[in-house]
Amino acid sequence: MNNKNIQLNKEGRLRHFLDIEGIKRQLLVEILDAAESFSSVEAQRVKKVPLLRGKTIVNLFFEPSTRTRNTFELAAKRLSADTLNVNISASATSKGESLLDMLHNLEAMHCDMFVVRHAQSGAAHFIAQHVAPHISVINAGDGSHAHPTQAMLDMFTIRRHKQAFADLKVAIVGDILHSRVARSQIHALTTLGVTEVRVIGPKTLIPDISTALGVHVYHDMWEGLREVDVVIMLRLQKERMTGALLPSEHEYYKLYGLTPEKLAVAKEDAIVMHPGPINRGVEISSEVADGPQSVILEQVSNGIAVRMAVMSILMGQSFSSDGEAGP
C-alpha cells in the first residue's frame, strides 16, 4: 500500500502519518529530533507545553488498546490539546450509521486530528482520503499492515542507547506474518540505514515477502541472534492467526522464546525490546524482560515524547528543549 502522496502536503511536509513506507529519512530524523526535545518536558514540574492549545484531537479506536490509547491521550494533553475518546462500540456506527457519516459529524464539531486504530488493514488510509483538508490522521495500528508511531518510538529508544544506526545489526523475533509492528520497524530500520535487519521465526510465521523487504531470514534463533546489537521480540498475534500455525506455546518458547542463554550469543551490550503486551514464558522469560539489558519500560515512556512529536509536526508546530515554540 503506497501512502506516500496522501501523507505529504504540497510542500513535502507530513500531513498524515499512516505508514513508514514511502517516508524519507529526513522526515523520520525530524520526528526523532523533535521527540528528543519533548523528552525534556518529562523533567518539568508542570509537564505541559502550549503548542496545541485550542486544538481538538479525537481518538477513534475501533479495537481495544489501553496502552496505545492512553499514551496518545497523554501526549495530546501534554501539548495542551483538548481530547475526545469515542467509544466505538456504543457509537452510532453500531446502530447503522456509516463510518463516513460519523467522521463528518466529528468534523462538524471542529476537530483537528483523528488518531485511528482499526482491525482492518488500510482503514486509516481510507479515513485520511475522506477527511476535510484541515484534519490530520495518525494511524495507531491497522490490521496486519502498519503501526508507524510504535516503530518510531522503537527507533527513538534504539538511538538513545546506540546513538547511530549505521553499524547496527537488529533482529526481530517472532510472528512476523501477522505483525503490523514488524512491518513498520523493518521500513524504519532500513530507511535509517542499519547494516542488517534479521527476522527470526518459524516458517509458518515468516511471510514470503520478507526477503523482498531487504531482510535476512533465520529459522534458528541461536544463529539469528549471533552478534546482534538489538533484539526486538514480538507478541504472538493469536487473535489474527487462522489455522494451526504453531504446535504449542511450550514448543514455541523452547525454540523462539528469549532466555538468558539465547541472549548470550548476541553482543554483550545488546538491548532487548518488546512492543507489548508481553506474554511471559511464551515470547520472553521474566529474567530477560526484567533484566539489565531490557529497555521495555523505556519504550513505553518514550512513546509519549514520540507521539507528541508526531502530533506537533502534523499541526505545523515546532518545539525546542528551551521551551520555545513556533510555527
Containing structural domain, residue 222: 148-296
Is the domain of 96 the same as that of 190? Answer: no
Looking at the structure, tell me whether residues 120 and 193 fall in a common domain.
Answer: no
CATH number at residue 32: 3.40.50.1370
Same domain, 319 and 192: no
8 and 44 share one domain:
yes
Looking at the fold, whether 255 and 207 belong to one and the same domain comes out as yes
User: Full-prediction pTM beyond 0.75?
Assistant: yes
Together in a domain, 131 and 189: no
Question: b or e along 248-257 (b: 16 or more beta carbons within 10 Å of the residue's beta carbon)?
Answer: eeeebbebbb
Same domain, 92 and 16: yes
Are 235 and 188 found together in one domain?
Answer: yes
- Walk along the chain (327 residues) and give the pLDDT tens digit of each residue: 444 579 999 999 999 999 999 899 999 999 999 999 999 887 788 789 999 999 999 999 988 788 899 999 999 999 999 999 987 765 655 555 688 888 888 999 999 999 999 988 999 999 999 999 999 999 999 988 999 999 999 999 999 999 999 999 999 999 998 899 999 999 999 999 999 999 999 998 998 876 778 899 999 999 999 999 999 999 886 655 555 567 678 888 999 999 999 999 999 999 999 998 899 999 999 999 999 999 999 999 999 999 999 999 999 886 665 545 555
For residues 151 and 185, what is the distance between their CA atoms, to the nearest angstrom?
5
Number of domains within the chain: 2
Measured from the Cβ of residue 138, the count of other Cβ atoms closer than 10 Å reads 24
The reply to whether 235 and 246 lie within a common domain is: yes
Q: How far is CA 51 from CA 8, 72, 110, 321, in A?
A: 21, 15, 18, 13
Q: Are residues 140 and 9 in the same domain?
A: yes
Considering the domain architecture, whether residues 194 and 104 belong to the same structural domain is answered as: no
Please check whether residues 226 and 279 belong to one and the same domain: yes
